[in-house]
Amino acid sequence: MSDLFSLTGQRALITGSSQGIGYALATGLIEAGAKVVLNGRDATKLERAAEVLGEGVETLVFDATDHEAVRAAVDGFEAKVGPIDILVNNAGMQHRTELENFPADAFEKLLQTNVASVFHVGQAVARHMIARGAGKIINIASVQTALARPGIAPYTATKGAVGNLTKGMATDWAKHGLQCNAIAPGYFDTPLNAALVADPEFSAWLEKRTPAGRWGNVEELVGACVFLSSKASSFVNGHTLYVDGGITASL
């Protein structure tokens, strides 16, 4: 049974992993036996995170929204270091403004960061996985893949797109031995949600709205990520796994 969930001998690239959910997932995958490659645009932050995580953690600096930079970085890493067996597309951002006043440039930035990055990095890594006939791609979606709330309509649109792009990846790449799935976190205490965590009124609303009655802890996403990265999910494809304390299950 333990072999089903072991990631020994596997290498995972996690985008946006110097902090928050990406960092927590890196920690969990390391504990499951994987070698981890941290990604982001800030080399100093990445090196600091790698030092904390320990010996053997690698970093790969690139902007996930830049198609050519992504391709060059991934191809170069594969050629010089070795295969990327697991990809976690975690890079993302949020912008909260009522829809009628939502800035067009903020909308475009959300599209690039939350959707285009999944395409760019997913395609670059998948080309190598396809050649090997195996690979795991995990896209970080959101409860907003299925739900909406005031002030974040464009973010909701991007996370809906991530859910459908995940289905498309599975449809195109399952025949090549890839499993492509998504994890949809509920409300977690992360830097992205710092403003909401600090708002007593919102936290009170969330605790009433969520059957579990609380914010999620980022460590609670690790089990889902290990499952989708491992042999245990060998016939799971195109699925979005909600880790949300039950918020999408209840009215």
23 is catalytic: no
Specify the DSSP element, H or E, that contains 222. Answer: helix 222-229
Hey, is 179 helix, strand or coil?
Answer: strand
The C-alpha angle 223, 229, 234, rounded to 5 degrees, equals 115
> Do 214 and 246 touch, CB atoms closer than 8 A?
no
CA separation (Å) from 83 to 97, 107, 143, 212, 236? 41, 34, 32, 39, 22
DSSP H helices in 1-94: 2-5, 20-31, 43-53, 67-80
Of 23, 155, 187, 242, which residue is the catalytic one? 155
| Residue 133 CB coordination number (10 Å) | 9
Q: Which residue has the tokens 């995972």?
A: 12
Catalytic positions, please?
A: 155
